Amino acid sequence: MANEEIKNLIRQHRLFRYEVAEAMGISEGYLSTLLRKPLTKEMEVKIKDAINKIIEH
């Protein structure tokens, strides 16, 4: 499956996709769409940065 590492990070930290999307400045629907297909390295970094931003807050 595409992007299992990111999906697992979201679950592991008990986050909701809408929280990650909000931290990125995008809609939850767009984040879900992105996670269905392989990500570019740039987008993968942006998502992980958003997750880290939430965790550190």
3: alpha, beta or left, given left = phi > 0 and alpha = psi -120 to 50? left
pLDDT for the residue 57: 84
pLDDT for the residue 28: 98
**Residues 17 and 10 sit within 8 Å (Cβ to Cβ):** yes
pLDDT for the residue 1: 72
pLDDT digit string, tens, across residues 1-54: 789 999 999 999 999 999 999 999 999 999 999 999 999 999 999 999 999 999
How is the chain classified by DSSP, letter by letter?
Answer: -TTHHHHHHHHHTT--HHHHHHHHTS-HHHHHHHHTSPPPHHHHHHHHHHHHHHHH-
pLDDT for the residue 42: 97
